[in-house]
Amino acid sequence: MKQAQDTIGVVPKRRGLCEVTDRLVDWLARQGIARGLLTVFIRHTSASLLIQENADADVARDLENYLAKLVPEDERLYRHNAEGPDDMPAHIKGALTQTHLSIPISDGRMVLGTWQGVYLFEHRRQPRRRELALHLLGE
């Protein structure tokens, strides 16, 4: 059994879904592990991770719009607003989504469906550098 660990930085261009599939594909190609399990963990509480359709950009926009309506930026609704009106809504959106993903690896590639991609979901208005911790276990 082999293991590989790393951290990659991602700077989303805007709030919303930022595809990181290619970054993961590139990292996996350098590890020399054909079969196993990749864990991707985001080290933040105001952003999250998703596996979602990457064929039609409208899917991403619809998800972003739905979550914005579900968790509005209204300072009257929250006590915690230390970093502005999007602070607590970003934490709630992070709690409703995922902080880590487990992705099977076969033939050195992620076993994703035809239309699936891996996304960082930035919940803050002003994107910031995010870190993804990667752990690959396999042979």
Predicted pLDDT of residue 81: 87
Output the CA torsion 111→117→88→127 (10° steps): 130
The domain ranges of the chain are: 2-138
Listing DSSP states for 80-135 in one string gives: --TT-TTHHHHHHHHHHSBSEEEEEEETTEE---TTEEEEEEE-SSS---EEEEEE
- The two tokens of residue 135 are 């752990």
Domain formed by 2-138, architecture: Sandwich (2.60)
* DSSP H or E segment with residue 60: helix 57-70
pLDDT digits (tens, 9 = 90+) for 117-127: 999 999 999 98
Q: Is the pLDDT of residue 28 over 90?
A: yes
